[in-house]
Every structure is written in structure tokens, then in C-alpha cells.
Structure 1
Amino acid sequence: MEQFIAMLMTIHRLVVYLIMVPPILQHFVPVTAACMGAIALLLMGLWLYLSRLLATRLTPIFYDIKPLSPLQKKQLRQQLLDQVKREVAQVTAQPERLALTHLPHHELPWNGELRVGQKAVKLTLTRHLLEAFRQPQLAQRLLILGAAGAGKTTFLMNLVEAYLARSPADSDQPLPILLNLSSWTRECLSFEQWFLIELKGKYGLCLNLGQDWLKTQQFLPFLEGFDELDPRLQGSCLEAINRFQKMFQLPGLVVCSQPEPYQRCAVPLNIVGTIWLQPLTLGQVQAYLKAIASKHPQGIAQPPIWQTIHKNPQLMRLAQSPLLLHFLLVLDPPCSVNHAHELLTLYLKKYLGRDNFYSVSPHAPEPQPSQTLHWLSWLARNLQKHGQSEFLIGRMQPSWLPSQGQRRLYRIGVGLTAAGLVGTIAVITNWISNLGITSPVFWGTIAGAIAVFPHQISFVETLSWSPNQARRGLILGLWQGTVASFCLGVFLVAIGAVIFIIDPIYLETIEAALLRGSILSVVIIFSTGLMGALLTGWLGNPIEHQTFLNLGIWHSAKNTLIFALTGFGVGLLLTGVFSSIANLFFNLVSSVVSIPLALRILYYPPVVLKTGIMIGAIGGLIVSISCLQHFILRVILWYNGSIPWNYDRFLRHVSQRMLIQPLGRRYRFTNSLLRNYLARSYSSASLSSSKYSEESVMGSKNT
């Protein structure tokens, strides 16, 4: 035993001598120290890169869930169905949707033709639409084509509503799923993965459960927004949809698009039936206005409106679009406009008027219309840029920052804040244990390095335990601990070289530091492995309820405390075990080599307690990093004027003005035409803080 211990100490001594620099460099200690610092940074980068590389290989897109009983699956199915029903009810409850369906006998206010091959069938009533949809020759597969504002979304929602009304609640009919294709922005992502990720993001459905239901033909997708895709991706998207429906033998499929983007694609959809939405006829417009006037004698659709529209060819052309017809009706009296963008400008001016609606919060001033328009324009541009049709506050990402400089500022802010928080905890523990001030710098640097590394902002809302995922986390944690220990060892050797250059008499201290580093490396390896298992073993529920805007953020903050306590317990356990091993080891080697008292103190109970606290702080940081990142991102966006400080209140403010629509925690613009107009017409340059003039923004005719 004594020979083995002596051999270990000899190896430590040889390692120190092997990395010694030539004597000529001993006069350049600052340069050497700088080189050692550079080596430390390179090793930190190597650790982050290797950890991220292994994480991408060990962390699958599909996570395990607990086995579900038939009753649980039935309950989850009903929860998902209820979400779809609420979404359809909320969309069809919009004023323009209600106006377009309040005709006698619920007649559809559009010209719709169902084409099967060369045969065209006129559609008039909703029941006829559903009957045609369920014809064997169509197999519940439809392509809906229509110009912007022609009523594609209204048509789609009416179809889903009729489908749900005719399907018994306890039946095994496929579940209608409403998704927007605009988020399919990467050709390398398979359509199956995109579909399941969208299910998870929109309805909170667990990925594995979604995949299981997809394989058993329990979904009937209703897809819109194909024309919002990047034109370079549209052809690939159609091919992916064809492969998707063939692979999983979907029980049905509905796709909406404008005609031009679809017709440009070389490969058509494998769908037999096509519904073409034509402009309204003059007779339909007149009948619609009369129906509205009869239902609302004091409302907006008085007989003179038809006379005004009928005498103006430009207004008549605009009125043939169901959506633009609604915009015309809210202008009382209808103004003479020549283009759709002029109509939208007047529509915004009307709905942003401060006297038309009550205040969201009586204790807070409402934003000026120009300020509201600027914030809406920023939101519309970013939704369009990132291929999203719906907005959730907690899903804003650093890519939403307008410049590279602001993204760098964001990363620096996150890193400094994390380092400050963890460093403060270390200072407090040092003050209690009276152990010096070097540890806060060490722990703060680790926290800053973890935080500054790019992360996708996502929140841990609900928790359940998965043994398989815990095993993956254990492997990943052991790997990260091994790499970190290697980097720590090289760093300690490099520091030892610098100390030896300064004064060789500290060689014994260097050896003691290396011995301590060896023990600390074992602690790091096993603690990161156990922490990885505990942190990644927790998964979300099969379906996460989405009710309030900031619910995910608050749930994530609560779960931070759980993980911090877990890390605290793991730290105490591991450091306690290995401190006992270290003390036993010191007792063995004390007969061969003298161990400095300073090294023994490092494994005493107060230090063990402090290490457990700091490991708990790092564990809490890992899972709360999204909360911190989200806060820093919101602060930067608020500071540069892109968003208001209270985003929740602002979204409720504009939803009451019927410009955006709440869907649970999500928001979407009432129609894509309005969203695209805001994104295109009001740039950040024209709405800078120095030009917040209500007259210049709301009174001008934007082109």
C-alpha cells in the first residue's frame, strides 16, 4: 500500500515537472499567466462543445411517458378535443366571422365550388359541405384555394365545427387538429417531427403519445398557411405532406392556400377534391347587407351603404372580398377608398380609437394609438420572420432581437446576472463559514459560463418521473463530469506551472493541490452524473393545460426550487461520502507524505455543507435559466421600444379592439391580411421613438 501511494505521489511530481516551461521564460511570468488563462478558456470551450455534442446525440426528440390505461387515454383524448372545440368557438366568435354567418338559413357568404376531377359542384349549406367532405371518393381529403380575404379560415372553421357537431363525443372518430404550415421552415426537419412538435407546442400533447396516436390514425389534420411559407420551401413541403399521409395512412387531410403559391409547385398534393372560393357576386353582397340590416336595424348595415358601395366601382371591387366587406361595414359611413391598404389604414384608425372601448386596467393609462401600432407592427414582423401564426409570451427567443449587438448584449447580460446570483450565494456562505473570497469567483465563473452558452428558452411546467430518461441523463452527466474533470486537471497543472515559475519552493503545495484536484474530479464526475439523472428524469404531463399567459413561466420558477433542493441534497450526499473517503485517504498517506492542514480543512463538514449549497445553486440555475433568459430578453426588448413592459395587459388591450384574438395563452391576429399589412407597412424606422406622432402614423395613407 505504501509503495502504491508513493507511486501516485511520484506521478503527480512527474506531471508537474513535465509541464514546466524552459528557464528562459521564467522572466515572463505575466505572459505565461496570460497563456494559462487562454488555456483555461480553451478548455472551458472544449467542455461546452463536447457536452453539447453528446447532448444532441443522447437527448432524443421523443421522451418516455408513463404507461397510460385505456381510461387515461380516453380522458386525454377528450381534453384534446375540448381544446379544439374551444379554439373553433373562439375563432368563429370574432365579429367579422359572426357577421359573415348571420345570413338567412346560415348560407355561406362566398362562391364555393367543389371540383372532383373535371366535375364542379356548387356548395351552399354547411351540411352539404360536410356531406361532400365525407364522400367515399374524397376520403375526407380537401384542398381549399382562395385569394387573401376570400374566407378560407372561415370555411375551414365551419367545416371543423360541422365535423365536431356530427361526431359523437365518445366515438373513435379521428381528432381534428388545426395547425399552420408557416412554421415549417426547415427542409431538414421531417414532416412527422414538425407535426408532433406543433402538437406539443399548441395543444401540450406529449411527443410520444402524439406519435402513438399518429400511428393509429387518430388525427385528422387541418392545415392552413401554406402560402405563408418561404417560396423556396413550398415544393418541398408538398412532397413532405404527400409522404406523410402515405406513411401514416391518414384518415383525412385538409390544406388551405392561395391559388398562386400552390400552382407554382411542380408536385401537386395527392388530394382529389378541391374547393375554389370565388369573389362574392353583387347579388350576394346586396343580400348580405339586407340580412344584416334586418337583424340590426340600428347597426352599421343601413340601406344607404349598399347605394354607396354600388355607385363606387372601387368599393364594389373591395366588397367582393368577405373580409374587406366587413372592414367596409365598420366604417360608418363607408369612405371612398381605392385600394385595400387604404381601407386597412382606416380600419386601424377606427379600432384604435380610444373612445370606442373601455380600459383594460382603470389604474394604468392606455398606450397611444401610434405606440400600439408600433408594437403590433413589431409583433407582426417577427411572427412573419419566424414562420409563426400564433404568439405566446413565453416562447419569445433571442433571435427576435433586431441586431447582432443586442443579441451579444443579451448573452452578456444573462451571463453576468447568473454569475452575480451564484456569486452572491457563495459570498453569503463564505461569510457564514469564514472561508475566504476566492470561491465566489470560481462558482460565479462556472454559473456565467453555463448561462452564456446558447439555450433555447423553454419552461419546465409540469413534472413526472421517467426511469429511461434518467438513465440517459446519468450517461450524459457522467460524460460531462469526465470532460470537466479533465479540463480542471489540465487547468490545475497549468496554474501549478505558473506558481512553480514564480517560486519553485511551492512544489509541495502544488502536489497537494493536484491531490485535492484528483479527489475533486471524482466528486465532479459522480455528482454531475447523479445530477444529470435527477434533472433529466423529470418530464411533463401527457397534456399540459394552457390557460393563463404567464402560467408556464411561474410553474418553471416553482420547479426551480424543487431542483435546487434536489441539487442541495445531492451535493450534501456526495461531498459527505467523498469527504469521508478523502479523510481516510489522508490518514493512509500521512505516513508517507505530509498533508498540509489547509488541504484537510477543505473536506471538513462546513466546507461540505458549502459545496452542497453551491451545487444546489448551480442545479437551480440550470433549470431556471429559461426564466432568467426570458427576463433579460424582455428587458432588452422593452428598453429598445419593441414591446411594452406589461405585455399581458397590452395584449388584452388590443384584443378588446379586435385586432388580435386570444386562444388560451396564445394570441393570433384576427386575420393574416391585417397581420401582413402591419408587418409590411409600418417599419421600425418610420415608427421610431422620435416620431411617435399620432397624426403622422394614423392620419397618413400608407402605401
Structure 2
Amino acid sequence: MTILDELITIIDRILAAGSATESELAELRQVLSKAEQTMQQSGKYIVNIQQGEDIHIGDRTYQGADAEAIREALRSVLQEKQKAQRPRNEKLLLQAVKEEVVSRLNQSLHNAVCINLAKEEQPDQVKCLWSSDIRIGSQPSKPIPDSQTILEVFDREEITGKLLVLGKPGAGKTTTMVDLAKALIGRAEQDVDCVIPVLCNLSGWKEDKQSMRDWLVLEVKSKYGIRKDIVAKWVDDAKLLPMLDGLDELESVRQELCVRRINEFLQSECHPQYLVVCSRKEEYEKVVRGQWQQNVQQESEENLFQQDKRLNLNNALVLKELTNEQIQMYLEYLNKIEIWNMLQLDSELLSLVRKPLFLSLIGFIATHKTLSIQEFQNRTSINAQHQYLFDAYWKAAIKRDIVTPQMYLQGWSSRAYEKKNNPNAHQTRKWLVYLANQLQRQHETEFLIEKIQPDWLPNKDNKKIYALGVGSLFGFIVGSIGATIVFIIISHFTNIFVGQIVGLSIGLFMAIFSGLWACFTIGQSKTIEPVETLNISLWSLAKSLMIGCLIGFISWIITLVTFPLLNWKPPDLVFFMVIAPILISILEMSGPQLKIRIEPNQGIKKSFYNAIYFASLGSIWLGLSAYLMREQIFVLIISLLFNKSATPTSAILSLPDTVVIVIAGMLAGTFFGLTESGTACIQHFILRLILCCNGYIPWNYARFLDYCKERIFLQSVGGRYRFIHILLQKHFAEMPLER
């Protein structure tokens, strides 16, 4: 029964009874939700529901009292939907996904080819859990009408939102999936009961033993910045619609295992209601299914069942190549009909541009006059032809004007560099090659500046320099603070010359000691983890306060024993029970990654601000501690400097003495800035410095990446960057890294 039939059946029952019951309203609500029937979208089945108008449902027309009864039932359901509101975190996630989808579609090279791609369903590519028929070819392939959108395919009763999207490289698979995500977002915005689509790339699945459920939780948390426990509940309650791209981007040996993990997820207790997977057709058949399809005639049916490695989805959608009419229409739209005339004389090039990616490439490079049919024909292999087209695209993109005539007259070279000189072609190519190499090595497609890790360093010598640089900078900061504290104290109580000598000596010792420690600990770490947010749960706060109180009590006991031996007055217990817990709580402050990244390198910037925040809090509390213990500190200073005991009195401890002690305490508090947030900034700075000095990246990386976005080499969403297509990323990765 179709959705229209269901709707008519319910309407007939309502009319027969004269009014709608709660169960009928609930059933009506369910059908309308399934058909995406909201007030704005009700026109598909309900032509008009305004007062005094006839209502048309399918080929039926309802008038008078009948129409009024239907109108009241629909108003009840639709008003209920309008009043419903999503929780705040769901709204944040939906908005973040929407911004990502809109940005990716606007910056997509495929988007230049505004053609409804031909589609074909191939049910034999997947294995429905409810079907016992596993023989290849038992379910014939059949074309999908051109008038049917990807959302309508997704909604079909035999698919019910569990779909595999296949196609050749450049066929438009990812763009099709993002188009579907856009339609699903529109639906989720209108209906709070609809699931929220989330775009995830399977190249981020790194651990073989990790379940798809656990990976999805961590991926959504990392990408969209929602708390882990909230995401876990969404996944378990099937409130998310995972859209998994890049199965073919995994290492070949791991693709089959990934399919197994997806199937386990689909059969688990927390299985999703809907799921979309996207992959290249050749890799899916060759690697995921192994030799199953090739040797089907040689295997028994029992062995076939045991070796079946297909995805447990309801249907597979295969994107077909563009037709001659579609190619001709596109080139006519670009006023490049001469290209179409040439394509008809070159069957190989015509075959290549049947893929939307390459048709858009042809259109772009033809517009910028960097296409030579003769040079293309000299390439005999498919890979060589691909390489030529991407090289021609590079020449067109790097030379094209990216500023308006008015901006040019004002001296602007680009929006990213404004009136400064743009990087030359050699530099741009080299930096893109290095970036592509790193992404390919890590099997990633997205890049964040704050996620640059020490494994970007190309050799052991660079890694040794990195460790030495981290230790040197850390030691310099520690030594400088220590030298300043000693200089202030000794200069005040003796003279400036002695303060300089002693301060420099102690500062040098602290720098060497702390620098060596940092070199062999922080400098050897394989990851850089910035503290992007400050957060502390009630449990963490309670734990920190308990630990702080314990440390404070132990410290007070120690002072009770040791201070009288030095003729010092021990501080009150209240001092330790207030200061220690607060300092421990400061150290425990760390939170999840940023929810939404709206600018490049935002994570490191936030970590730097948090380091300043830690240093400020430490300064306040240690300055207060120094003030409360000023008498004991004064006695300690006098004892150390003049080797004699002293009893502080109001006559001896003057106001300048108190000021110096408090300032020294505040300076000591800045050491709290060298916790995880501060050390992450040191690591990132040294790493970027080494990579820049070796010519692998520019110093202002964000500006360069924005410049490449202007040149249409990259696209970005907030602070995340990716090449406009994975094939372009692979093309740059295959280039030699020129010095």
C-alpha cells in the first residue's frame, strides 16, 4: 500500500465516524511524517486545506462537511508538529550539519554540472536481512526513472532508508549523498521526529577491533563537538542517520573488515533505523566481496552463503554515466559547443567525460583555454589521461583571475593575501603536494591545522630537532620565570647586582633541568592534544576537592612538624584547606573539543587562551597564598640569604617586603600556564616552525589554505579543509616533492 492509499484509508475512516479518534490522529501523524507532510510541504497530496476550499487527495475531491472534517484532523496534527521543539543539542547538531552540507555543495566542482544523474538499482549488490535469496543475478538490475529524486529513492518502501550508493571514480557519489543529506536536513527541520543525518568518512575508522557504534560516537563527537554521552544516547536511540562515505578509501585489507563491522552494527541492539553507505563500485565488488562474484559458478550454494560479504542493506543505487544529450546540453550552457564537436571525434575523451567530475574539469579548463585535444590524444592510458586533465586544471586554476577589476586596481592580489604577494606557482604546488601526501598516508580526506602531528616530520633528524626545540622553549619559559622571581626577591633584600647574578644562575639551572625533562617527555610524545574547552563535571570537581583537601591536610601536618624546628610559625589549617583544593581543581579543568570550528586553527588558539587563563588563576591564588604566608616566607628568605633565624614582626615586615613577596607568588602562579594547554601550544609552534623552515608548509598556513580555496583546489567548512575531490588529492600526492 502506498502512502497515498494509507492516507485515503485513514481519511475515509474519519469521515465514516464523523470525527477523528486519538488512535486515528496518531496513525495520521505517522503517515504524514513518513510522507514529509508538513504545513509547507502538504501540497504533494493535499492541494488546499484553507477554509472554504475543496480538498484534493490523489484523484479524490472532498467538499463541504467532509472537507471540514479532514481540515480539522490535519490542523490538529500539523499544529502539534509546529509546537514541538528539538532539544538544544539536537538543534546545534542539525545546524552544524546543515552548514557543512551547504558549504560543500557550494564549493563542489561537481555542482557545476547541474544534471540529474541517471541511476540504476542493483539489489544483488546487497543482502537484505529478511531475504534468504543470496544468488547473484537473482534480482535483476533496473533503471530508476529520471524524474525520481534521490530522496524519493531513499523513501521507497522496499528501501526504507537503508541504501548503498555505488559508482565509478568521479561519477558523483559523494555529491549525490550530500544532496540526499540536504533533503533530509530540510525534513528534520520541519519535523522534530525525523532523524538527523550525519556525514562521516570511513577513512577515520582506524582500529580494527573498534565497533562501528563506538567509532560513530567518537566521530560525531570529534567532528561536531557534541558530548560523548549525548551522542551515545542518540546512537542507541536511533536518532541519527549515519551517512558513511569513503569505504573505498580504507586500505584494501581493511575494507572487508569494515563491511563486517557495519553489518554487526546493523544487527546489534542499537542498530540505526536508516543508514547510507557510499563506495566505488569496482572496489566494493573486488575487495569487499573478494572472488565471490568471479567464481560463483564454481562454488556450491552452501559455500556461497558462508562467503557472502555483502552489506546488509535493502538496495544498492548505481550512478550511471552521462548521456550524449546531457554532455551536449552542459557544453552548450557554457557556450563551448566546439568542445562537443571535438568530443564526437574522440571516443576516448567522450568516454572519460561521461563522468560528471571530468565533464566539469573539461568545462573549466576549456573556459580558461588550457585544454589541448592533441596532447590528450597522445596519452594512451586512462591514468595518463586523468593526469593530463588534472595538470590542465592546475594550469587553469593557478592562472585565473581571482579578484575583481576594482580590487586589482586597488593592489589586491587575492582575498586571502589582500595587497601582499600571492605564493608563486612552485610554492603553491609544493605545499599542496606535501599536504596531499600527509592526508594520503593517514587515509584522511579532511584536514585541520590544529591536528598537525609530529609524524608529519619526514625523518629522524627533524624529529630530534623537534624534541630539542620543545625542550628548549619549555626550558626557556621556566628559566625566565624562575630567574625573574629570584631577581625580584634578591634585588629587593640585597642589591641589583647580586640579584642579577643569582637570578641568572638559578634561572639557567631551572632552564636546563626543565628543558631536558621536556625534551625526553613532551618532545617524544607522538600526539599534540590542545585543551580546546574548559569543563569540569560535578564528579571531577568533587574528586579534585577531596584530593586537594587531602594534600592540604598533609601539607599542614608537615608544616606543624618542620616549621617549629626552624623557629617559624606554622600557617593555619584553613589556608591549606582553601588554597590546595582550588589549585587542584584548576589543574583538572579540561573539556571536550570545540563544538563547532568556525575559523582555522581554532583549537590551538583556544588552547593558548586557556593557558593564559590557567596562568592567571594560578597567579591569583599563589599571590593570595603568598600574602597569607608573607611572614613565613619573609623568615625563609632572611634565613636563606643571611644564614640566620628571624622572627617576623610588624616592624621588620614592611609594605615593600609584602609587595615583593606577593609579586613573586603571582609570578610563580604563571607556571600553571605550562599545563597541557600550554605545552600543546609549545609543541604546535615548534612543529610548525620546523615544517616551515624546511619548506613543507607556509608560516601562515590558514591564509595559504584560504588562498587555495579561492583557486578551487580546496574547499572548507569552518576550520576543516579538504581537496575538491579525492582524485585531485591523489593526483597531488603522486607528484614528486620538489625542494
Using the size of structure 1 for normalisation, the TM-score is 0.72
Aligned mate of 1:650, from 678, 686, 704: 704
Check if 1:535 corresponds to 2:587.
Answer: yes
Check if 1:265 corresponds to 2:288.
Answer: yes
Q: Give structure 1 stretches of 5+ with no counterpart.
A: 1-69, 490-510, 689-703
What is residue 467 of structure 1 aligned with on the other side?
Answer: 538
What is residue 320 of structure 2 aligned with on the other side?
Answer: 278
Secondary structure of the structure 1 residue equivalent to 2:190: coil
What is residue 271 of structure 2 aligned with on the other side?
Answer: 249
Q: Give structure 2 stretches of 5+ with no counterpart.
A: 1-82, 128-138, 290-308, 380-384, 404-412, 491-498
- Residue type of the partner of 2:414? S
Q: Distance in 1 between matches of 2:604 and 2:470?
A: 17
Question: 1:445 Cα deviation (Å)?
Answer: 5.1
Change (3 A) 1:615 1:474: farther
Check if 1:621 corresponds to 2:697.
Answer: no
Preserved CA contact (<8 Å) 2:448 2:601? no
Check if 1:444 corresponds to 2:511.
Answer: yes
The answer to which of 441-450 and 362-371 deviates more is 441-450
What is residue 390 of structure 1 aligned with on the other side?
Answer: 446
What is residue 343 of structure 2 aligned with on the other side?
Answer: 309
Q: Distance in 1 between matches of 2:164 and 2:319?
A: 11
How do 1:386-465 residues align onto structure 2 when only pairs under 5 Å count?
386-434=442-490, 436-437=502-503, 439-441=506-508, 443-444=510-511, 447-448=514-515, 449-450=517-518, 452-453=521-522, 454=525, 456-465=527-536
How do 1:208-219 residues align onto structure 2 when only pairs under 5 Å count?
208-219=229-240
Change (3 A) 1:289 1:652: same
Check if 1:375 corresponds to 2:431.
Answer: yes
Change (3 A) 1:616 1:191: farther
Q: Distance in 2 between matches of 1:194 and 1:417?
A: 36
Change (3 A) 1:137 1:461: same
Change (3 A) 1:95 1:533: closer
Preserved CA contact (<8 Å) 2:532 2:607? yes
Question: 1:362 Cα deviation (Å)?
Answer: 3.5
Question: 1:663 Cα deviation (Å)?
Answer: 1.0
Secondary structure of the structure 1 residue equivalent to 2:141: strand
Change (3 A) 1:441 1:362: closer
Q: Distance in 1 between matches of 2:207 and 2:542?
A: 31
Q: Distance in 2 between matches of 1:466 and 1:634?
A: 34
Aligned mate of 1:322, from 356, 374, 394: 356
Preserved CA contact (<8 Å) 2:105 2:178? yes
Q: Distance in 2 between matches of 1:469 and 1:91?
A: 39
How do 1:286-305 residues align onto structure 2 when only pairs under 5 Å count?
286-296=324-334, 299=335, 302-305=336-339
What is residue 555 of structure 1 aligned with on the other side?
Answer: 606
What is residue 103 of structure 2 aligned with on the other side?
Answer: 90
What is residue 152 of structure 1 aligned with on the other side?
Answer: 173
Aligned residues: 566
Secondary structure of the structure 2 residue equivalent to 1:248: coil
Change (3 A) 1:662 1:582: closer
Question: 1:74 Cα deviation (Å)?
Answer: 1.9
Q: Distance in 1 between matches of 2:719 and 2:214?
A: 23
The answer to which of 670-679 and 165-174 deviates more is 165-174
Secondary structure of the structure 1 residue equivalent to 2:242: strand
Q: Distance in 1 between matches of 2:421 and 2:429?
A: 16
Secondary structure of the structure 1 residue equivalent to 2:109: helix
Preserved CA contact (<8 Å) 1:527 1:570? yes
Question: 1:626 Cα deviation (Å)?
Answer: 1.6
What is residue 387 of structure 2 aligned with on the other side?
Answer: 341
- Residue type of the partner of 1:597? K
- Residue type of the partner of 2:241? L
Secondary structure of the structure 2 residue equivalent to 1:311: coil
- Residue type of the partner of 1:307? N
Change (3 A) 1:582 1:352: closer
How do 1:61-140 residues align onto structure 2 when only pairs under 5 Å count?
74-94=87-107, 96-101=109-114, 103=115, 107-108=116-117, 110-115=118-123, 118-125=139-146, 127-140=148-161
What is residue 684 of structure 2 aligned with on the other side?
Answer: 630
Preserved CA contact (<8 Å) 1:133 1:139? yes
Secondary structure of the structure 1 residue equivalent to 2:113: helix
Change (3 A) 1:656 1:429: same
Question: 1:610 Cα deviation (Å)?
Answer: 6.7
Change (3 A) 1:654 1:77: same
Check if 1:180 corresponds to 2:201.
Answer: yes
Change (3 A) 1:115 1:272: same
Q: Distance in 1 between matches of 2:511 and 2:444?
A: 37
Change (3 A) 1:450 1:567: farther
Question: 1:377 Cα deviation (Å)?
Answer: 0.8
Change (3 A) 1:571 1:167: closer
Change (3 A) 1:524 1:344: farther
Change (3 A) 1:90 1:125: farther
Change (3 A) 1:612 1:96: same
Q: Which has the higher contact order (CA 8 A, sep 6+)?
A: 1
Preserved CA contact (<8 Å) 1:138 1:272? yes
Using the size of structure 2 for normalisation, the TM-score is 0.68
What is residue 136 of structure 2 aligned with on the other side?
Answer: none
Cα deviations by residue, 1:161-199 (Å, 9 ceiling, x for unpaired)? 222234443422111000111121222444334323322
Q: Distance in 1 between matches of 2:679 and 2:84?
A: 37
Change (3 A) 1:146 1:463: same
Aligned mate of 1:359, from 399, 407, 414: 414
- Residue type of the partner of 1:427? A
Change (3 A) 1:413 1:537: same
Preserved CA contact (<8 Å) 1:477 1:531? yes
Change (3 A) 1:171 1:99: same
The answer to which of 404-413 and 216-225 deviates more is 404-413
Preserved CA contact (<8 Å) 1:471 1:533? no
Cα deviations by residue, 1:208-259 (Å, 9 ceiling, x for unpaired)? 2212222221110111111111223222222222233324221211111123
Question: 1:525 Cα deviation (Å)?
Answer: 13
Q: Distance in 1 between matches of 2:270 and 2:632?
A: 57
Change (3 A) 1:183 1:677: same
Preserved CA contact (<8 Å) 2:105 2:175? yes
Question: 1:353 Cα deviation (Å)?
Answer: 1.2
Change (3 A) 1:641 1:583: closer
